[in-house]
Structure 1
Amino acid sequence: MTILKHTKKVSLSDNERIKKDSNFLRGTINEDLDNNLTGGFNPDNIQLIKFHGMYQQDDRDVRLERTYQKLEPLINIMLRCRLPGGVITSKQWLAIHNFSEKYTLYGTIRLTNRQTFQLHGLLKPQLKIAHQLLNKLGLDSIATAGDVNRNVICTVNPMESTIHYQVWKLSKRISEYLLPRSKAYAEIWLNEQKTEFVESEPILGDCYLPRKFKIAIAVPPFNDVDVYANDIGLVAIADNIGNLIGFNVLIGGGLAMTYGDKTTYPRRASEFGYIDAVNILKIIESVITIQRDWGDRSNRKHAKTKYTLVRVGIDTFKQEIENRSGLMFAPVRSYMFTDRGDRFGWSKGINKDYWNLTLFIENGRIFNSSHKLLKHGLAEISKVHSGGFIITTNQNLVISNIHKDKKDIIEALSKEYKLLDDSITLQRKASMACVALPTCPLAMAEAERFLPDFVTKIEHIMCKYNLEKDSIILRVTGCANGCARAMLSEIGLTGRGIGRYNLYLGGDKIGTRIPRLYKENISESEILDILEYTIKLWVKDRNIQESYGDYVVRSGIVKPVLNSEKDFYL
Structure 2
Amino acid sequence: MMPLDRRHDLSQPLDRLGPDETLKDRSDQLRGTIAAGLEEELTAAVPGDDVKLMKFHGLYQQDDRDIRDERRRQKLEPAYRFMARVRLPGGVLSPGQWLKLDELARAHAGETLRLTTRQTFQFHRVHKRNLRAVIQGLRDVVLDTKAACGDDSRGVMASINPELSALHAEVYALAKQASDHAIPKTGAYREIWYGEERTGPSAGPEEPFYGRTYMPRKFKIGFVIPPINDIDVYAQDLGFIAIATKGRLEGFNVAIGGGMGRTDQAPDTYPRLASVIGFIPKDKVLEACDAVMSVQRDYGDRVDRSHARFKYTIDNKGLDWTKAAIEDRLSFPLEPARPYRFVSNGDKIGWARGENGREHFTLRVENGRVSNFEHVALLDGLRAIARAHSGMFRVTPNQNLIIADIEPQDRPMIESLLKEYRLTGLNEGSGLRRNAMACVALPTCGLAMAESERYLPTLVGKIEAILAVHGLSGEPITIRMTGCPNGCARPYIAEIGLTGRAPGKYNLYLGGGFHGQRLNKMVLENAGEQAILGLLGKVIADFARDRFPDERFGDFAIRARYAAEVKEGRHFND
The answer to whether TM tops 0.5 is yes
Q: What displacement does 1:199 show?
A: 4.1
8 Å contact from structure 2 (residues 100, 138) kept in 1: no
Rounded Cα–Cα distance in structure 2 between residues aligned with 1:232 and 1:8: 26
Structure 2 counterpart of 1:156, one-letter code: I
Matched, 1:484 2:486: no
Q: Runs (4+) of structure 1 moved beyond 4 Å?
A: 7-10
Deviation string, structure 1 residues 360-411 (Cα, Å, up to 9, x no partner): 0000000111211111000000111111210000000000111122211111
Q: Which among 205, 224, 247 is matched to residue 218 of structure 1?
A: 224
User: What is the CA deviation profile of residues 156-213 of structure 1, one whole-angstrom value per residue up to 9, with x for unaligned ones?
Assistant: 1367422111111011000000010101100000011111347422222221000000
- 2:353 maps to 348
The AA in structure 2 aligned to 1:143 is: A
Contact kept, 8 Å, 1:154 with 1:218, in 2: the verdict is yes
Of 513, 519, 523, which residue of structure 1 is paired with 2:518?
513
Please say if residues 178 and 204 of structure 1, whose CA atoms lie closer than 8 Å, have aligned partners that are also in contact. Answer: no
- 1:17 deviation in Å? 1.3
Q: Which letter maps to 1:142? A: K
Equivalent position of 2:459 in the other structure: 454
The corresponding residue for 1:230 is: 236
Contact 2:200 2:206 in 1 (8 A): no
Q: Distance in 1 between matches of 2:19 and 2:551?
A: 49
Conservation of the 8 A alpha-carbon contact between 1:237 and 1:246: yes
Tell me whether 1:537 sits opposite 2:542 in the alignment.
yes
Q: Is 2:175 the partner of 1:171? A: yes
Task: Please name the residue that 2:112 is paired with.
Answer: 108
The structure 2 residue matched to 1:200, chosen from 200, 203, 206, is 206
Q: TM-score, normalised by structure 1?
A: 0.97
Within a 5 Å distance, the mapping from 1:419-434 to structure 2 comes to: 419-421=423-425, 423-434=428-439
In the alignment, the residues of structure 1 paired with residue 311 and residue 104 of structure 2 have an alpha-carbon distance, to the nearest angstrom, of: 39
Alignment counterpart, residue 94 of structure 1, candidates 99, 102, 106: 99
Q: Which position in structure 2 is the counterpart of 1:180?
A: 184
Per-residue Cα deviation, 1:517-567 (whole angstroms, up to 9, x for no partner): 1110000111000000111111111111111100011122221001121x2
Query: How big is each residue's C-alpha offset from its partner over 1:3-49, in whole Å with a ceiling of 9 and x where there is no partner?
Result: 63227998322111111111111000011011001001123100011
Residue matched to 2:274: 269
Q: Determine if the alignment matches structure 1 residue 410 to structure 2 residue 435.
A: no
Q: Which structure 1 segments of 5+ residues have no match?
A: none
Counterpart in the other structure of 1:389: 393
Deviation string, structure 1 residues 449-476 (Cα, Å, up to 9, x no partner): 0111111001101101000220211000
Any conservation in 2 of the 1:160–1:348 contact (CA below 8 Å)? no
Which of 103, 113, 123 is the matching residue for 1:119?
123
How many angstroms apart in 1 are the aligned matches of 2:48 and 2:19?
11
Letter in 2 for 1:548: F
- Aligned residue type for 1:304: R
CA spacing shift, 1:158–1:468, aligned 2, 3 Å: closer
Q: In the alignment, is residue 553 of structure 1 matched against residue 553 of structure 2?
A: no
Alpha-carbon distance in 2 for matches of 1:8, 1:379: 53
SS in 1 for 2:82: strand
Does the 8 A contact of 1:27 with 1:45 survive in 2? yes
Letter matched to residue 237 of structure 1: I
Identical pairs, percent:
44
1:43 alignment partner, SS class? coil
Aligned residue-pair number = 566
Match 2:378 to one of 365, 368, 374: 374
CA distance in 2, matches of 1:230, 1:436: 22
CA contact (8 A) 1:20 1:206 kept: yes
Partner amino acid for 1:473? T
Q: CA-to-partner distance for each residue in 1:79-115, whole Å, 9 max, x for gaps?
A: 00000000011011111112211222x2100000100
- Aligned equivalents of 1:304 and 1:369: distance in 2? 38
Q: CA contact under 8 A between 2:220 and 2:236: conserved in structure 1?
A: yes
Distance 1:79 1:487 in 2: 26
Letter in 2 for 1:449: R
Report the equivalent of 1:36: 41
Q: Which residue of 2 aligns with 1:311?
A: 316
* Rounded Cα–Cα distance in structure 1 between residues aligned with 2:9 and 2:36: 38
Cα distance in 1 for partners of 2:348, 2:365 equals 13
TM-aligned CA deviation for residue 496 of structure 1: 0.2
- Once the two structures are TM-superposed, the CA of residue 429 in structure 1 deviates from its matched residue by 0.6
**1:335 CA drift (Å):** 0.4
SS in 2 for 1:517: strand
Contact in 1 for aligned 2:162/2:353 (Cα 8 Å): no
Deviation larger for 241-250 or 153-162: 153-162
For residues 141-165 of structure 1, give each alpha carbon's deviation from its aligned partner in whole angstroms, at most 9, with x where no partner exists.
Answer: 0000000000000111367422111
Q: Quote the RMSD (CA, aligned, Å).
A: 1.4
TM-score computed with the length of structure 2 as normaliser: 0.97
Letter aligned with residue 48 of structure 1: L
Alpha-carbon deviation of 1:73?
0.6
Are the equivalent residues in 2 in contact too, given 1:159–1:165 (CA < 8 A)?
A: no
Aligned to 1:147: 151
Distance in 2, matches of 1:360 and 1:457, equals: 20
For residue 279 of structure 1, the aligned residue among 284, 303, 306 is 284
Kindly provide the amino acid, as one letter, of the partner of residue 296 in structure 1: D
CA distance, structure 1, for counterparts of residue 566 and residue 402 of structure 2: 34
**C-alpha distance in 1, partners of 2:155/2:162?**
16
